[in-house]
Structure 1
Amino acid sequence: MGTNETAAGARLKKPSWKDPRLFVGILLVLLSVTGVIALLGTADRTTQVYAARDDIAVGQAVTREDLSVVKVRLDDVESGYVTVESGLAEGKVALQRVAKNQLVPKESLGQADSLKRKPVAIPMDEGLPEQAVPGACVDVWVAMPGSKNAFDEPRLLLPGAEIAQVTAGATTLGASKTTTVMVLVTDEQMPKLLGAQANKAKVSVVWNPTGLSR
């Protein structure tokens, strides 16, 4: 047998279990499989979390019927949201607005006595600005009744009040359509607004794009 035939035979020789190249190849395959399994396991690490079916207004009692369940990956921020595993406690109300399909933060729910602002209904016969939607801020102006069936000059009563809810009323025969705007009012502001309403003041809202309560 010539030298060339000997070299070719050596190259075609079946590798031995003691061949370090075989162990390196097996190790690489194992590492690759392990990496794929770990990646798939991480990608599937989702959590069942509650989300709002519809807009949830401040002060609204929140029950399971108001929520839907979604699967999301939250990682380090999971503790900040209401999960199916942690459950929804009874008697909770919304302390802040939760928009439709938004995940429910734990800090958005609490007891009714924790509310710093309470919703007050303002009936509006006049049209609302198109920006007057839940979550937007408006300035509430009032004009007190004056003499000779007139109203005094309007004055700013509630600057930067947040809208909690807007409900369009039904139109009746011979009557204009009344829209009810729920605005969030602090305990300090409450007597001013309720007093104005009790004295038949004309109430108007103006969109406040800055949201400032100046």
Structure 2
Amino acid sequence: MSTETLPAPVAQRLRRPSWRDPRLVTGVVLVALAVSLGSWAVSTASRTVPVWAAAGPLTPGDRVTPDAVRAVEVRLGDGADLYLPADQPLPEGLVATRVVDEGELVARSALGDAAGLDLRSVAVPVDGALSARVRKGSVVDVWFVPDAAPGGRDREAPAPRAVVEGVVVEQVDDAGTGLVVGSATTLHVLVPTADLPDLLAALGDDGTVDVVPLAGGAS
């Protein structure tokens, strides 16, 4: 029985990939894209833009003028369009429509036309001690405490009542410093037109007016 000797397999030499190899070209392109996207993301995240911030508290109706704001550099990313850019002139005729605290970025949503505000400024004299937390931009409740009715102890004392709630303090006159301030303090509060009759009636009645700051208001 004859046997045939099979030829020994010939080892194939690995060839160095050519630059024309589509797999190599695809890999190079993917790496380049990844590097470019990474660089763009880092650059975008670290880029700052100039926007306006409140130089002091702004209350509804305050005009937004160059004296009321200051330019700051911040990183906002895609949210930059939500705020007023400081590299452009301030639009004329804008007023704050809500409280903007000192240092807060001025959002476009916090601005509007004065004609659209249904608020009136009312001077409220406060005879008693006033919390130091009550200042421009604070949100307060105004309470009325009627004078005791004549008749001594046999007469039930009238109960205090809230006249208006959640109104913004526009201005504080003759306010002192410390934990409390004394008498002769006048607050200017921004009151919705619908609440004016109740507040004006309380101010003309026999009694005293107290102001209570809301928790979480300006401090």
TM-fit CA distance, 1:88 = 2.2
Counterpart pick for 1:59 among 41, 58, 61: 61
| Residue 190 (structure 1) aligned with residue 196 (structure 2) | yes
Counterpart pick for 1:204 among 195, 202, 210: 210
Give the alignment of 1:37-56 within 5 angstroms: 37-56=39-58
Tell me the equivalent position of 1:4. Answer: none
SS at 1:48's partner residue? Answer: strand
Counterpart pick for 2:110 among 108, 111, 116: 108
Tell me the equivalent position of 1:160. Answer: 165
TM-fit CA distance, 1:156 = 2.0
TM-fit CA distance, 1:65 = 1.2
Which letter maps to 1:186? Answer: P
Q: Which runs of 5+ in 1 are unaligned?
A: 1-14
SS at 2:52's partner residue? Answer: strand
TM-fit CA distance, 1:47 = 2.7
Which letter maps to 1:141? Answer: F
Counterpart pick for 1:143 among 142, 146, 149: 146
Contact 1:59/1:94 (CA < 8 Å) preserved in 2? Answer: yes
Mapped partners of 1:109, 1:188: distance in 2? 23
Deviations 1:56-107 (A, max 9, x none): 1222222111101122233343333222356422222221110011111212
TM-fit CA distance, 1:108 = 1.6
SS at 1:188's partner residue? Answer: helix
Q: Normalising by the residue count of structure 2, what TM-score does the alignment of the two structures yield?
A: 0.66
Which letter maps to 2:185? Answer: T
Q: How many residues align?
A: 194
Contact 2:169/2:190 (CA < 8 Å) preserved in 1? Answer: yes
Contact 2:164/2:199 (CA < 8 Å) preserved in 1? Answer: no
Mapped partners of 2:34, 2:175: distance in 1? 66
Which letter maps to 2:73? Answer: K
Task: Provide the identity percentage.
Answer: 29
Contact 1:163/1:181 (CA < 8 Å) preserved in 2? Answer: no
Mapped partners of 1:30, 1:188: distance in 2? 65
Tell me the equivalent position of 1:88. Answer: 90
Mapped partners of 1:53, 1:111: distance in 2? 20
Larger radius of gyration: 2
Tell me the equivalent position of 1:169. Answer: 174
Contact 2:98/2:110 (CA < 8 Å) preserved in 1? Answer: yes
Mapped partners of 2:216, 2:32: distance in 1? 59
Counterpart pick for 2:185 among 148, 162, 179: 179
Contact 2:120/2:191 (CA < 8 Å) preserved in 1? Answer: yes
Mapped partners of 1:39, 1:76: distance in 2? 12
Q: Which runs of 5+ in 2 are unaligned?
A: 1-15, 152-156, 177-181
Distance 1:28 1:60, change over 3 A: closer
Q: Root-mean-square deviation (CA), in Å?
A: 3.8
Distance 1:80 1:183, change over 3 A: same
